[in-house]
Each structure stands twice: as C-alpha cells, then as structure tokens.
Amino acid sequence: MNPATVNQAFEALMPADAPPAGACVRIERPEPGLARLVLDPPHRRLAVLDLALMRDLERAIEVLASDNGLRAVVICGREPTSFAAGADLESLVQVQDAALALELGRYGQGIFQKLARLPVFKVAAVGGPVPGGAFELALACDRIVLADHPSTKIGLPEVLLGILPGWGGSQRLPRRIGVPAALDAILSGRLFDPRRALRAGLVDRLTWPEYLLRVAGDIAMGRTRCTPYERGAWTWIVDRNPLARAVIRRKVTEQVMAKTRGHYPAPLAVIPLILEAPSVKLEQGLEREAAALSTLMVSPQCKNLVRIFRLSEDAKRLSKLPDGREARELTSLGVVGAGVMGAGVATLAAQKGLWTRLSDVVRAPLDKALHAHRAAVAKDARRKRSPAHERNGAIDRLAVGEGLKGLSACDVVIEAVAERMDAKLSVFGELARRLPADAILATNTSSLSVDAIAAEIPSPERVVGMHFFNPVPQMPLVEVVRGAQTSTEVVHAVARLALKLGKTPVITADRAGFVVNRLLAPYLDEAARLFEAGVEVERIDRIARDFGLPMGPLELLDEVGLDIAAHAAESLEAAFGERMQASELLKRMLAAGLRGKKSGRGFYVHGKQTRQVNPDIARLRPAPSSVVTDYSEQVILDYLSMAMLNEAALLLEEQVVDGPRELDLATVFGMGFPPFRGGLLRWADSLGARDVLGRLQRICGAPDILARTNGSARFKPAPRLRAMAEANTSFHGEKS
C-alpha cells in the first residue's frame, strides 16, 4: 500500500472519540535524567493500544530521543495496577485487507523498535491486566517490574483470538525465556499471575503496587541492581541447536494438530517464528512475524474468535441493572443437594470467596462432597502454588450439614436435588418458610419449568433458574432463567453471581430445555437415528469432531448418561410434541442396562485407560431398512446440524434469548460448538439462508431413511428461515 492509502486507512481506524494529538501519553520528569512515559488516554477507563495512543506514544519517544540529558526511561500506566489492556480489538475486526494488516503490524513493531533503540536504560513498570500488545510493549524495555497484586495477569493470549503476537512478541519472548518456555506461553495463551510470571522469566522483579514507580525508577537509574533472566548454556544446547529445534517442532506440531485438528491456523503459524527467533536477526524475524500476522488477521477464524471474545465481554454487563446501577452483590450461598452438580457448585463458590453451606438429607454424600472439596482445593493450590492462607480459606468457607438448618443466613440458595417436580416443590416450599423474604431461591433444573416451581412460593419474584453444566469446574456457561414473575433485580443479581464464579451468564426465558438442552436434543437424537440406520458409531463421532466439536454426539450421550438424556428427551417431547419425538434407541439401551460412562457401557465400553465401541450395541438396532442411501459425510453432518439450526430459528422466534448474539455465545460455551466458526448462527450465516433452506428441504423430501415419517417436523423450515431466504438476509441482519 502506498503511504497515502495507509494514512487514509489508519485514519478510518482511529477511534471516533479519539482525543487531540498528545493527550494519550504524558511525559513526566520525576528527577534529573529520568523520564516517565505515562499511558493515560482520557477516552479510556483502561488504556488500550489503539491508534490514538500509539500515535502519541511514537511522538513521546521521538521527544525523548532528542533529550541529550536523558539517562533512563520508565514506562507505566496512570495507576500501578492499570497499565494497558492490549491492542484495540475494535480496529482488528474492521481490517479486511491483508495489505493493511501488514502495515498495522509493521507500524506497531516500528514504534516498539524506536523505544528499544533509545540509547538509555528502559524499565517497564506494569500491573493489573498486561495482555498481548501491552506485554509486547514491556518486552521492548530492558527490564520489567511487575506489581504483585491479585488483579495482575500478564502474557500473550493472541492465539486464542486467531492471531499471533505481532508487535515483536514472537521474537522477543523466545530471546528472553528460551524457545520451549516461549512455545508453552504463546501456544497456551496463558495469562500468568505475578509469581508464576517471575518464575517463568517473563518479568525481572516483583514489588507491591505502592512501591512500583519507586522500585522501577531505582532500577532505571542504577541505584538498585536487577539482573535479567538468563538461560545460560541452554541457549546453545536448545535454542540455537538445529537438531533440538527440529525435534521440538515435530513434537509441538503433533500436539497442536491433535488438539485443534488443523482448524486453528494461528498456532501452526507461530511455531516456526518462535523456533527461529534466536537464530535470525531481530529485524528479519519481525518482518516474518508481520507477514504471518497479516494473513491471520483477515482470516474467518480470527474474526469469529474475536467476536466470541467480545460477546463474552459483553455478558459482563449483565452484572448491572438496565439503569446502569450495580446489581445486588451476593456474598453467602447455600446449596441443597450434595450430588455431583450441587457439590461442584459448592466447591466452586467456596474457592471464589463466597461463604457456602452445602445441605443434604443424609450424611454420606456430604462427607463425599467435603472430601472432594478438600482434594480440589489442594490440587488447585499445587497448580497455582498458592500460599497456605488461601488454601485454608477456601476449605474454611465451605460448611456442610444435614437438612436445611443453617441456610437462613444465605443471600441465595441454589437447589440441586433430583430432577423431579415433586422433590423440587418440597425443597422450595421449605426454603420459602425458613429464609427471609429477600433471599433469592434458584433452581439448577435443566428441564423443569421455573414458573411451575415458583407458582406456590410466597414472593415468586425471587425465584430464578441458575442452570450450571456438568462438569461444573470446566463448563463456562450458566443459563439464568427468568420466570414470568422473576424480578429484573434478581435476574441481574444472579448474573453477577455467575460472573463472580468465573462463569459466563446468558439470560433465557422459561421454556422447556432453555437454550442449550433444547438445541442438543435434536442433534443427539439425529445421531441415534443415524446409528439405527446403519452408520457406525465411530464414523458419526469422527465427523462431528472433524467439524470442530470437542466430542462426538454418541460420546457425549455416554458422558452425560443415557438415563439423564432419556429423561430430558421425554420432557422436551412433552413440551414440543412431534418435533422433539425421540427415537426408541435410548430406551432399549437402558432396558439392556447400558447407561453410558457411569455404568461402564453405552455406545462405548469404558475402561480405566481405554475405550472401544461396544460390540453388543449393534443388536439393539431395528431391522435394516430396504432403502439404500448414500450416507456421505455431508449427508450425516446435515442431519446432525440442520435440525439443531432449525430449532435455533424457532427459539429466536419465541424470544427465548435476546437475539442471535446470545444464542451463539450459549452454543459455544454451553455445548462446545466450534469457536472458530463463531457460534451456530454465525456458521449458518456463512452458508447463507438459501443454502440452509435448501438443505432442510432436501432432508424433508428424502426417503424414510431414519425410521420416522417422511418430512419430519424438526426439519420443516422455520418461518424465520423462509423469510431470510426470500430476503437474502442473515440471522445477524446482513445481506447473505
């Protein structure tokens, strides 16, 4: 691109509320010979490396370059725990041209190179969030001093957004900590807490936030010694050894392919850059980095991953009421039911700082839950190397007890008993009598009506659904289910609680199956019908995994439990009739004693270390159909995905969630829909409404290959899809 075109493109990417030139970076002179570069953009609560700030940073560096009396520079944020939140994602999603992406990469690299080449000692004094570009800015300095504070997290998470560290990170970090450690840090996208960052060599010194500027200034001026992280002989044994690098490259590439199945190009693109960094000139490495960045930045994977990240960030706004006030903070939690789900929620809450009481009608599950809690806390403490007081605090915050005694002091009580309406009504009736009127009553139901549970409860406005997914520690989504009488204050208080627990909330209406289970049901049922029609178990699951799902549908049925899946299917069939009519396969399997992983046998036989297809499962198929059909991979994928997609369109028509953005977030975080595809509806938009309509119509007109009436109700195109195809629009309102 010629300079005029570049300038014009950069101007278009400048934030609309950008302040005048020079307002984002301040130069301070705390003592003779020392300058501070302070990132303090007036248009941002937390500094972001947008084009306005980068423009001012470059000008400030040029001012310092002409200062003959300058001896040292400290670069910092406006507060010790407020440095910068990385590069500007709003600009990133706007870039559609690879040539412009290349210029953006070179622009950032050039500014950081100007800082690195200043002929004085440079110290980065950073704290709070220091991700991506903010860390790359710090890496351009001679030393990095980090604020030792719980809010501090530092690292290079770019591969999680479908790109790579493009402002020098892929070159400077391997030079700093070595190739193996840099590969681990960049490929994992991990954000390190202060002590782990120091151990890994990402930073050179920790200090309390209140001493950050003083310590950084003393190091910069030579009054305090601060030795850099040294690799010693390992630089030559590993980092500069072609044979060692070849072995590392093969092994790491195999690991990445096993994990991503090739769907994510960013990890594969960054591996050679990291491996070659110690052996090439920095300028040459930077040019390679910019070229790789330019390709990744305009890829659909990057756009979709950034979109999912932004949706998850938007979900954090649910902690506020519609008028902007903070929702009520819940600090004490009760859980009724010490089964797998209830115990998991209780452990999570205690680890996240809430005083928690776990109750059950008998002692045995409470003892089991308490033992599991201590083991989980110990494991987490070993992983994070947490101090003893943090570990002891997480243990002390969980109390257990039989019956419902001790729950009256809780701000919120979550019911996690058996998925039977009579059991839940009994628990809620007793809780309503024992708890004060302002205590929130939440149910973890996955299929029962929140309105039905609240119907006979005094103050039904305080009854809400809080549906966690199993396993609780790993699954990031919580469906916050708003009943017809649930108050807005309660909904947002529970959303704030979900965020405090480290989960992403999505607010749903009280409809059978809510969002995730309602979409999973036709997907799982179609997989069962495909098996009945003669498609092999492993082939069905492999096609789903090749599409990008973390596990296949029959694997998932075994993992969830066939008894639980069958119960959910009955509830959905009762609510939606023929459209959710389930195959008889699960009933036959349960009658044969096959419950999935929990019983050791389902579609697979599950051993301690191995798993293989259950050889007995084929006997449960119905008699083979006389219809001969080509079960191509595309046909199988269409059966699995189109019923789910059609149900999503109906779900939107019923306004179960606010819109397609929330539904996409729920499908990624709740059912594992491939993030690189951007969610179920974003993927549908990539196909186009007319293509989707055509696939549904082909299935409706196909022979009776899956043992049901021709033109199954679940494949009858939803009115919304027909209207979209006619208008050639998408779920997200764009022209296809």
Contacts of 79 (CB under 8 A, 6+ apart): 128
Residue 479 is among the residues annotated as catalytic for this protein: yes
Residue 467 is among the residues annotated as catalytic for this protein: yes
Taking the chain, what is the end-to-end CA distance rounded to the nearest angstrom?
Answer: 29
Task: Fill in the amino acid letter for 347.
Answer: T
Q: What is the DSSP letter of 236?
A: I
Strand pairing class (72-77; 34-39): parallel
Residue 170 is among the residues annotated as catalytic for this protein: no
Q: In degrees rounded to 5, what are phi and psi of residue 487? A: -75, 155
Angle at 262 between CA 257 and CA 267, to 5 degrees: 75
The catalytic residue among 149, 373, 467, 606 is 467
Contacts of 691 (CB under 8 A, 6+ apart): none
Q: Residue 320's beta-bridge partner residues? A: 326
Give the residue carrying structure tokens 């940073």: 57
Question: 503 is written with which tokens?
Answer: 């989960």
Instruction: Kindly write down the DSSP assignment for every residue of 426-477, as one continuous string.
Output: HHHHHHHHHS-TTSEEEE--SSS-HHHHHTTSSSGGGEEEEEE-SSTTT--E
Q: Are 736 and 728 in contact (CB under 8 A)?
A: yes
Q: Which helix (H) or strand (E) is 122 found in, with range?
A: strand 121-126
Residue 517 is among the residues annotated as catalytic for this protein: yes
Give the residue carrying structure tokens 């929130």: 440
Three-class SS state of 310: helix
Task: For residue 726, count other CB atoms closer than 10 A to its CB.
Answer: 11
Contacts of 718 (CB under 8 A, 6+ apart): 646, 649, 650, 653
Q: Starting from the edge strand earliest in sequence, which strands make up the sheet with 153-155, in order?
A: 129-131, 153-155, 191-192
Q: Residue 26's beta-bridge partner residues? A: 38
The catalytic residue among 58, 415, 479, 662 is 479
d(CA 53, CA 47): 8
d(CA 155, CA 147): 14
Question: 626 is written with which tokens?
Answer: 């006389």
The catalytic residue among 517, 583, 614, 712 is 517
d(CA 243, CA 26): 48
The catalytic residue among 82, 91, 299, 446 is 446
Q: Are 646 and 714 in contact (CB under 8 A)?
A: yes
Catalytic residues: 446, 467, 479, 517
